[in-house]
Structure 1
Amino acid sequence: MPRIVIALQNDYADWEPALLMAATRYWLDCDVVTASPDGKPVISMGGLKVTPDIGFDAIDAEQFDALIIPGGYAWEKGGAHDFTALATAFRDKGKVLGGICAAASALAAAGVLDDVAHTGNSLASHKKYSAYRGETRYVDQPQAMRDGIIVTAAGTAPDTFTVEVLKALGLYGPEAEAELAAFAAEHRR
C-alpha cells in the first residue's frame, strides 16, 4: 500500500490536495498521512481545520512513497515553512515529490526543479527566489506537469495534478482514469 504524506501549514489552499487525497484513500487504498509544522492543527484558506497525524519532523523519505505540498497564502504572508530539506530528501531517495501553486515555487527555491521540466503559477513566482536556476526548463501551461518523480502545477490545476501524481506513483490505471475523468469533464468544450 503506497504511503503519501501531505504537508499542510496554516493558510494552505484546501482545494489543491483534496481530489488527490480522496482518490488515493477511497479508490486506491493508499495510506494518506497529513502533517503540519509542529503536529498541531492548521486552518486552510477556506477555514477548514485539520488535525494532522504527524509533525514535519516525523516525515522521513524512507517511510513514504510521496511528499505532496499544497500551496496557499503562507508564502505571501512570509510565514511559509522552508521545505528545502524535505524536498531534497524525497528527490534524492527517488520518491515522488509534488508541489502545486506557491509550493511549486517553494520547490524552485529548494533547487529541485533546476534540472527537470516544470510549471507553476508563473515563471515570475519562481524567479522571486534567488536560488532558482531552472528558468530554461519552465513550461508555461495550465495543466500540471510531471518529469520523472517531480510533479508541479499551478493552483488552478488540481485535477491534472492528481493525475500526474498518480502516474508518478504508478497508480494511474483504468479505475483511476474512470473515476477522475468526471472531475475534468467540466473543462471540455
Structure 2
Amino acid sequence: MKKKIYVFLFDGYSDWEIAYLGPEIAKDERFDLIYFSETGNEVTSMGGLQVIPTTSLNELEIEDVEMLILPGGVAWEKREITTINNLVSELFEKGKTIAAICGATFYLGQLGILDNLKHTSNDLSYLKAIVPEYGGQENYQNKLAETDKNIITANGIAPIEFATEIFKKTELKSDDEIEKWFQLFKNGIWSE
C-alpha cells in the first residue's frame, strides 16, 4: 500500500514553497501525493495558479496520513485557517509527520506544537509578534530548515531546504542522492 502525503491548499497559499517537493515525491511509486482543501473546491495560489485539489478535508482519513505538508501564505498570519485544527492536533498526537514552511510555522506556534521541539520560522521576533501565545523561544533555531522528531519547519525563503528535509524524513532517496539533488537545485552543481 502506498504511503499518502497530503498537501493542504487554500486561497493565497505560497505556491513556490512546495514547487520543488511535488515533482520528486510524485515520481516515487511508494507514495501518493494528495492535494486537499477545506471543501475540495478550486483554490487560487498567491501567484494566481488555479488548482482543483484531489479531495476535501472531510474526505481525508487521519489513519491514511503519512505526512501533512502546510505551505505558507498570509492566511496563517491573519488566523483565517482554523478548520484543520483537529486534523493537525490529532496527527501531532499520533506522531505523524507535519511539515510547515513560512507562515504555516506561525500556525504550529499557535497550537503549541513548537513549544518543546527544535524549530525555525521566518524570524524569531516576527514569530513572537504574530503569535503572542508562542512559548518555544528557547528551542528556536536560526536556520533555514529544521527537523525535530516528526515536525519539519522552514523559513519562507527556503523551499529547497524544506524539500530536502521532507525527502530525508520520507527516505525518498539515499542521503547521497538527496545531497546531489540539493546541490543541483540550490547551487547549480551537477554531479553524476
Same fold (TM over 0.5): yes
How much has 1:171 moved relative to structure 2? 2.4
Q: Is the 8 A contact 2:118 2:147 kept in 1?
A: yes
In terms of mean alpha carbon deviation, does 23-32 or 97-106 score higher?
A: 23-32
> Pick from 173, 185, 188: which aligns with 1:183?
185
The secondary structure found in structure 1 opposite 2:166 is helix
Aligned position for 2:102: 101
How much has 1:73 moved relative to structure 2? 2.1
For structure 2, the residue ranges without an aligned partner over 5 or more in a row are none
Q: Is the 8 A contact 1:39 1:52 kept in 2?
A: yes
Aligned position for 2:151: 150
Return the alpha-carbon distance in structure 2 between the equivalents of residues 8 and 79 of structure 1. 13
Matched, 1:53 2:60: no
The secondary structure found in structure 2 opposite 1:75 is helix
Amino acid at match of 1:155: G
The secondary structure found in structure 1 opposite 2:20 is helix
Aligned position for 2:64: 63
The secondary structure found in structure 2 opposite 1:65 is strand
In terms of mean alpha carbon deviation, does 29-38 or 8-17 score higher?
A: 29-38
Aligned position for 2:166: 165
Q: How does 1:6-155 map to 2 (within 5 A)?
A: 6-27=7-28, 29-77=30-78, 79-81=80-82, 83-127=84-128, 128-141=130-143, 143-155=144-156
Where does structure 1 differ by over 4 angstroms across 4 or more consecutive aligned residues? none
In terms of mean alpha carbon deviation, does 128-137 or 172-181 score higher?
A: 172-181
Q: Is the 8 A contact 2:38 2:83 kept in 1?
A: no
The count of aligned residue pairs is: 186
RMSD of Structure 2 on Structure 1 (CA): 2.0
Identity %: 34
How much has 1:61 moved relative to structure 2? 2.7
Return the alpha-carbon distance in structure 1 between the equivalents of residues 173 and 107 of structure 2. 26
TM-score, structure 2 as length reference: 0.88
